[in-house]
Structure 1
Amino acid sequence: MAGAAQGWCEAPYLSAPTQLDDLGAKAVRVEGSTYEAHILPGVKQVSPANVMRGEETQIAGLLSHQPDYSGTVCLPGTHTKWVRINDRAIVAFESCLTGEQFAFFSEASVLSHSMIDGGWDADAFEAAVRLAIQDPLSVPRRLFAIRAEMLVAQQSSAQARATLSGLLIGQELMSVPQYWQGQDVTLIGATTLCDLYSKALALAGATASILDVTTMTLAGLTAAHQQGQHADA
């Protein structure tokens, strides 16, 4: 968040639809820095209101590797982004608080008592994703059932943790079906998290490919730097 209003130096948002070829040209130079430094802008969407900072750079990296890419990019994380790309532009996007919800429920809520021992159960994750896809409206009551299962049915910590993740990711998928139904999805993010989203998408009937987040970030920064140099020439 170096470019946020409360950050190091504000880099104002670009408005979607946003041509990512303009990203580097709109970078803001940091005044008074020992080294020459520029901060890339984020992207805002007026309706429905939404913002991103950082993900646009990773998408620019994708476009540097696949210049004609058109489709959906999902960037799992604390605030997962679902982004529609066409003609080298961010056309529209949605943000889901799934990662933040998982952190709260697993670390600060009553459910945290069921996950003290950590671990992971792949079968429990898959079952929870299927349940959330089939009946997303049941997720709120199924969340409390995670605690009840520990108390009355000897559910393990690994099962509880995986069930929570599966319910939240499955519910997220059903909130943004227009971004993945009938489409191939490109995932950019932490490998473990992307693997979970890939498995969940497969259970929902969609296919996904995973790109390395570090590679995409560096490629996006390189492309933006080159764009900035051309703008200054």
Structure 2
Amino acid sequence: MGFDDFIDSAPSVLGAGLTTAACFAIPAAIPLAMMQGTAISDPAQIWHTGDRHTALAGKAEDAKHQLTQAVEKHAKDDKWDGNDAQAFKQSNLTPYQTALDQTSELHKGIGGSLGTLAKVYMGAGLLSATIGGIMAACAVAVAGVSWIPGVNAAAEGAATATAETSSGVFRTVLNGLVTVIGTVGRLLTKIKGLLMLAGLGFGGGLVGKTMLTGTTQANTSIWPGDPQPTAAHGK
């Protein structure tokens, strides 16, 4: 169990709750409370999701290695080399290697971006808890002097200034979150598109095999030693 397992939603929930409670005495804190509410999250879960994407990147690399080894072993066992072997690998092996490389890189990118997102959310949660504590203290101070003319106005002014300053700081953090979330979204869109292309390629391969089964043309992708299609005579 790592440190990231303990960074859950508690700090962000606490911060938003304290600021919301302070709004009764400091109306200027209402926008701040709303911003803090949008930052409520569970960084630990985001971190673990990123770890899973990193693991998937490793699986894609392992799949490429196993696929390459299987083809090379087949070629060695059948003593097949030269131009035909290279042409077969170029048309039947290289596209899968390229797709697996792209898949691995995208999963690594998503994993890294989610790790960054978790860290930003963690910082936002801890900052939210700190700001919430300050706003709660300001609210108590304002309520404590509300019956003293002059003093109450000064306390309210100081609390309002604190709320506005805190809003500016928290807004900067939220802008950082939006940037990181956008990066993750773009990577997820890319990997979704890659998976769609892989599905189309697999479907196209099945269609191609079905069509070749019903024709008399030789299949140039068939491995030597495998049953070869025979030409039709008098048909």
- For normalisation by structure 2, the TM-score amounts to 0.27
The structure in which a higher percent of residues are helix is 2
The structure in which a higher percent of residues are strand is 1
**Higher normalized contact order (CA 8 Å, seq sep 6+, divided by chain length):** 2
